[in-house]
Amino acid sequence: MKLYNTLSGKKEEFAPHGDEVKIYVCGVTPYDDAHIGHAMSYVIFDVIRRYLKFRDFKVKYVQNVTDIDDKIIDRANQRDIPPAELAKKYTDSYFEDMDALNIEPADVYPRATGEIPKIIEVIQGLIDKGFAYPAGGSVYFRVRKDPDYGKLSHRSLDDMMSAEGAMGSEEKEDPMDFALWKASKPGEPFWESPWGEGRPGWHIECSAMSLKYLGEQIDIHGGGQDLIFPHHENEIAQSESFTGKKPFAKYWLHNGLLQFGEDKMSKSLGNLVTIKQALAKYSPDAIRLFILNSHYRSPLKYSEEGFEAAEKAVERFTQAISRQDPTGGKGKALDAQPYHQRFIDSMDDDFNTAQALATMFDLASAINQAGDAGISFVEAQNVLISLAREVLGLKLPKEIYVEASVGISIRVTAESEVEVDINTPIEISVEEAKSWQLDAKAVTIGELIELRQQFRKDKKWQLADEIRLFFDKKGLILEDTPKGTVCKRKR
Ligand SMILES: [Zn+2]
């Protein structure tokens, strides 16, 4: 298995430190509802984690919640509520979204406010080793003391200085130094520390939590590309200076960013789409497929068409896994092994989900062709289901076929109401056929629905009603909806 490591700038063979793959992914700052950019990042790392498990790795996954931060304090002040209340509200909202998107919960979700002792311990250690210094009630990291600084973003200190316009302050020894501990301003939440009342900086949080829950060296550290500098660069500087062990994380994985037209999707540009807004329009499976249809390191362009295409793709998979095997699972069978292997080859190549999905579509088509040719495909369906559900985390509506009282097969969607496939053939009597001017041969439910609509259009109310009654006698109900007439089995 190969994965692209931002640290080396190359694809590398995956060789974790031990039996258990240790993954740390930077979490949210809960001051508002999470948006599609968050969905993108967490779906991607969810699939990476699922795939590692699929390949029989044991995985421990830790993701923090930055529940104290300037943004939280500002927003809470605007609303005149305590910062902790605001943070709790949006942390809950975030977990709801992750659950709706079928993202497996992390093994641990440490919160900054719950880890203050560990954070203070790491800061004190950095001071003791000369990598940090207290000043004016805050503590800063001495960037120029770390000769490796810049190794992740591949930039020199002077480049960063000019590009980022580092902010100098009277307290800091050097404009590049960053805060590990921030002295609290009046009215702000604070914790006691050896340097006075204050709160942790964002960067130190991740170093401390990763250290506490995963140990001194981890295998995979993930996050969006926008976190490479300064956040991840700072995490490396803090962790490696504190433990003296390198590398802090063996593989650094960064996902591309979500774009809206030519722009980044961001609060300041006012083009945010929240996960809740997207879920109101599209199924969770479609949202996952939309994200996974691009390579995780590429930027993803938000588009309604993209989501609609993803919805159709979900339907294609659902149909393929819902089809009934024409042989009852006996006889000549479709060989799914080559598809399974292609899927693994794609995922082994730096988690190429787009290519893996293409293989799954090929498999879905092969299932349909096998069905038409009377070849057994039940095994192939099982392969498709396991790849879709176990690795890509799709739910795919559970569909089963039941025998209805009329002796026809009815498609039942567990998630929705009991809706009958309108392509189902239905038998009509000679008299009915004559009355409705139809050939006596088999018609489908859909054709009868259309006929009823034609009668209504022609104001032949009695004939239209006859058809409704016909369905009624068979235990079926017609429902006129804005999308057209649907046929449901009586419960
Ligand atoms: Zn982080």
pLDDT recorded at residue 158 = 81
Compute the distance from residue 27 Cα to the ligand 1 centre, in Å.
7
The distance from CA 410 to its chain's CA centroid, rounded to whole angstroms, is 33
What is the Cα–Cα distance from 17 to 222, expressed in whole angstroms? Answer: 17
What is the Cα–Cα distance from 289 to 310, expressed in whole angstroms? Answer: 6
What is the Cα–Cα distance from 290 to 272, expressed in whole angstroms? Answer: 17
pLDDT recorded at residue 167 = 66
Compute the distance from residue 205 Cα to the ligand 1 centre, in Å.
7
Tokens of 384: 């498709």
Count other C-beta atoms under 10 Å from residue 167's C-beta. Answer: 9
pLDDT recorded at residue 164 = 54
Rg (CA), the chain: 29
Torsional class of 237: left (φ above 0), alpha (ψ -120 to 50), beta (otherwise) = alpha
8 Å CB contact between 333 and 375: yes
**HSE (side-chain half, CA atoms, 13 Å) at 391:** 24
What is the Cα–Cα distance from 353 to 47, expressed in whole angstroms? Answer: 9
pLDDT in tens, the chain (491 residues): 999 999 999 999 999 999 999 999 999 999 999 999 999 999 999 999 999 999 999 999 999 999 999 999 999 999 999 999 999 999 999 999 999 999 999 999 999 999 999 999 999 999 999 999 999 999 999 999 999 999 999 988 888 776 555 566 778 999 999 999 999 999 999 999 999 999 999 999 999 999 999 999 999 999 999 999 999 999 999 999 999 999 999 999 999 999 987 777 676 777 789 999 999 999 999 999 999 999 999 999 999 999 999 999 999 999 899 888 888 778 899 999 999 999 999 999 999 999 999 999 999 999 999 999 999 999 999 999 999 999 999 998 755 444 333 434 444 444 444 678 888 888 888 888 888 888 767 788 888 888 888 888 888 888 888 888 888 888 787 776 666 777 877 66
Q: At what angle do helices 304-322 and 378-386 cross, to 10 degrees?
A: 140
Q: Report the amino acid identity of residue 138.
A: S
Q: Which DSSP letter does residue 387 get?
A: I
Compute the distance from residue 375 Cα to the ligand 1 centre, in Å.
52
8 Å CB contact between 196 and 227: no
Q: Which DSSP letter does residue 439 get?
A: -
pLDDT recorded at residue 159 = 80
pTM, 2 dp: 0.81
pLDDT recorded at residue 365 = 97
Compute the distance from residue 26 Cα to the ligand 1 centre, in Å.
4
Q: Of the candidates 252, 226, 245, which has an alpha carbon nearest to the alpha carbon of residue 164?
A: 226
Residue with token string 């945010």: 272
Tokens of 475: 């235990």
pLDDT recorded at residue 407 = 39
* CB neighbour list of residue 325: distance below 8 Å, 6 or more residues apart: 371, 376, 377, 378, 381
Compute the distance from residue 293 Cα to the ligand 1 centre, in Å.
26
Compute the distance from residue 232 Cα to the ligand 1 centre, in Å.
7
Compute the distance from residue 32 Cα to the ligand 1 centre, in Å.
18
Return residues with CB closer than 5 A to ligand 1 (ion): 26, 206
CA distances from 107 to 104, 179, 277, 461 (A): 9, 29, 28, 62
* CB neighbour list of residue 400: distance below 8 Å, 6 or more residues apart: 412, 414
What is the Cα–Cα distance from 400 to 27, expressed in whole angstroms? Answer: 38
Compute the distance from residue 203 Cα to the ligand 1 centre, in Å.
6
Count other C-beta atoms under 10 Å from residue 294's C-beta. Answer: 18
User: What helix, strand, coil percent values describe the chain, rounded to 5?
Assistant: 45, 20, 35
Pairing type for strands 20-25 and 443-444 reads: unpaired
Phi, psi of 378 (to 5 degrees): -65, -35
What is the Cα–Cα distance from 258 to 278, expressed in whole angstroms? Answer: 14
SS3 215: coil
pLDDT recorded at residue 421 = 80
pLDDT recorded at residue 482 = 61
pLDDT recorded at residue 415 = 41
**HSE (side-chain half, CA atoms, 13 Å) at 302:** 22
Number of separate helices (H) and strands (E) present in the chain: 16, 19
Compute the distance from residue 214 Cα to the ligand 1 centre, in Å.
14
Q: Where is 488: in which H helix or E strand?
A: strand 484-489
pLDDT recorded at residue 414 = 43
